[in-house]
Amino acid sequence: MAYLINPEDQDLLDSVREFCEKEIKEQCKEYDVSGEWPEEIYAKAAELGYNGLEVPEEYGGLGLERITVAAIMEEFAKADAGFVTTITASNLALKAVLIGGNEEQKQRCCDLLMEGKHGAFCLTEPMAGSDAGNSKTTAVREGDEYVLNGRKCFITNGGVASFYVVTAMTDKSQGVKGMSAFLVEAGTPGLSTGNHENKMGIRTSNTCDVVLEDCRVPASALMGAEGEGYKIAMKTLDMSRTWVGCGAVGIAQRAIDEAVAYGKQRITFGKPILKNQGLQFMIADMEIRVETARQMVAHALKLMDAGLPYSRESAIAKCYAGDIAVQNALDAIQILGGYGYSREYPVEKLLRDAKIFQIYEGTNQIQRMVIGKSVIGKF
Amino acid sequence: MELLVCIKQVPDDSVSVGLNADGTPKLDEITPVVNAFDTYALEMAARFKEAHGGSVTVLTVGGEGAVPALRSCLAVGADRACRLADESACDPQGIAYLLAQASKKAGEQPFDVIFCGSESTDASSAQVGAQVAELLGLPVITNVLALEPKDGGISAKQETEDGYRVVEASCPCVVTIVKPDYEPRYPSIKSKMAARKMPITDLSLADVEADAGKFGPEAAKVRRVALSAPPQRQSGVKIQEKEAAEAVRRAMELMAGQKLI
């Protein structure tokens, strides 16, 4: 079972799947080894409009339903989790602008994504990951400008983005209420990027430090009012978590697809290994997990569509999908046995890719804090 | 130039097809797609249009089921689509007759170049393009790899056993297309969504003044008598001798045994 999308969009999904099969899946194996950002693949995808899937219709987007975008994102993730990470990260930056930006900022970012450009969301710092309030980056107002100083780390698309949403403290004494958000365009003097991280997985996504050294931006780059940065960031992450869950579902599904394909043709003791009930039960458990996660993603998206609160559901979707992606990847490796452990086969990559889904956009421990608090409430 | 591309919907050729008990192909679960050679023809026509101006119309003969194929063409370079509604079983000559008739009505202006795939991936008769030309009394260049306008006509690279030769024809003319050195484009999300809203012109047999005696099962001059699945490949012979000289001797014996040497 997949997402229930409207029949017209099925055709759209089929063409995306064809692109993923022919242009991403096999090609990414080589980039997974080299760690190089596959510019050529991203250029082709950009030409087809894959960067602008979440741009709202009123800002020049195509007005796709969220559930259709989810089905497309799952295809991306099935082909390569680094690819979906790049697309999701641009959309993460877009979400922040749509939540906290003014009309001009929204239109600018939507235009850039529709042109096939990328965005980056710069919240994390060396000493401020889950504890984002401990941010050391500062923004000081000087006349009609703000001067930004600090170092952001683990920034997806850091080296390839055209626009950056950067959080910085405008008033340290206020704690998180002294954090503000700025929209900074690539090429702004004082903004530079560090080395591309040599990561365990999602190696086709670009991750690097974003360094701000006396980076002057016009006062109009401020998103919302001073002190609203933390609120914007938290709202953004609340929404984005579901999409991270969606990517994890894609990895978990690919694990099943690979395990089933292999298990049908691998013969031991005179019969295919999937004739053994023990392995059939493993496949069943993998399917139970992936379908549960997928429907949790769908449910959170439905709440967003309905304008209802979705923080808890978004956190559940992200946390559960991240956990089960790792488990399904492990099980796929187990079913492929020695071959599963070999880099000649695709499933070990799934495990390396899946692991980050328990870490980024708030670790799964943070998700459990969010979920726990929302259930227990204040007492 | 005004360009027409004739397309056929065929079963996805990347899937292996089995046979039903009555010997007919088992196609129920196989997705229909646009014939690969026709997608090359459409891509070549779209590039020709983008480089030299004009418009591209796609034409097919079929039932309602052929509409998605036309829509997918509208998403990858076609400007207009036209369907002649007919589902009778035709031989290549019957289909060529219907396409030739429809080509006279499918455009606002007469077409300068009519593109066909060199063959279809299902029946592979490779006759339709040439027969369309014959029926319309037009020149035809078969197995075309590339195409450009020249002196009011066209100049084409025609594939040969060894490479290609350059052939010219006056317009209007028919060309049949083989695989060029590029792939057909992918539809963008935007073009795919725009294609949903584009109109498809429906033509009836009466619209194209089709003579009932010239197409359909009764008129067919060629009939499919039987279909058979290709024989399964036999497993090869392994030569496992450890010494090279021994292995060569064994290979020679095997080839001599098969009277190959």
Q: Which residues contact B250 (CB under 8 A, 6 or more apart)?
A: B239, B241
- As a CATH number, domain B2-214 is 3.40.50.620
Q: Which residue of A has its CA nearest to B183?
A: A22
Report the residue from A11, A23, A49 with minimal CB separation from B190: A49
Please report, for chain A, the start and end positions of each structural domain, with discontinuous segments joined by +.
7-117, 120-226, 231-376
Q: Convert B83-107 to b/e letters by CB count within 10 Å (16 or more is b).
A: bbebebebbbbbbbbbbbbbbeebb
Enter the pTM of the model. 0.89
Identify from A5, A9, A10, A12 which residue to disrupt to test chain B contact, counting B C-beta atoms within 10 A and taking the largest count: A12
Question: How many CA atoms within 13 Å lie on the side-chain side of A286?
Answer: 28
Q: How close is the nearest chain B Cα to the Cα of A326, in Å?
A: 31
Q: How close is the nearest chain B Cα to the Cα of A62, in Å?
A: 7
Give alpha helix (H) positions in B33-106: 36-52, 67-74, 92-103
Q: Which residue of B has its CA nearest to A20?
A: B186
Report the residue from A8, A15, A23 with minimal CB separation from B187: A15
Count of other CB atoms within 10 angstroms of residue A130? 13
CATH fold of A231-376, please? Butyryl-CoA Dehydrogenase, subunit A; domain 3 (1.20.140)
CATH of A120-226, one of 3.40.50.2300, 2.40.110.10, 3.90.1310.10, 3.40.50.920: 2.40.110.10
Measured between CB atoms, does B239 come within 8 Å of chain A?
Answer: no
pLDDT computed for residue A1 by the predictor = 62
Measured between CB atoms, does A64 come within 8 Å of chain B?
Answer: yes
Q: A361-370 pLDDT, tens per residue?
A: 999 999 999 9
Q: Quick check: A300 pLDDT over 70?
A: yes
Q: B184-206 pLDDT, tens per residue?
A: 999 999 999 999 999 999 999 99
Contact (CB<8Å) B68/A11: yes
CATH fold of A7-117, please? Butyryl-Coa Dehydrogenase, subunit A; domain 1 (1.10.540)
Measured between CB atoms, does A43 come within 8 Å of chain B?
Answer: no
Output the CA angle B106-B108-B112, nearest 5 degrees.
Answer: 80
pLDDT computed for residue B260 by the predictor = 87
Q: A219-274 pLDDT, tens per residue?
A: 999 999 999 999 999 999 999 999 999 999 999 999 999 999 999 999 999 999 99
Measured between CB atoms, does B197 come within 8 Å of chain A?
Answer: no
Please report, for chain B, the start and end positions of each structural domain, with discontinuous segments joined by +.
2-214, 236-261
Q: How close is the nearest chain A Cα to the Cα of B25, in Å?
A: 24
pLDDT computed for residue A255 by the predictor = 98
| Catalytic residue status for A361 | yes
Measured between CB atoms, does A11 come within 8 Å of chain B?
Answer: yes
Contact (CB<8Å) A64/B189: yes
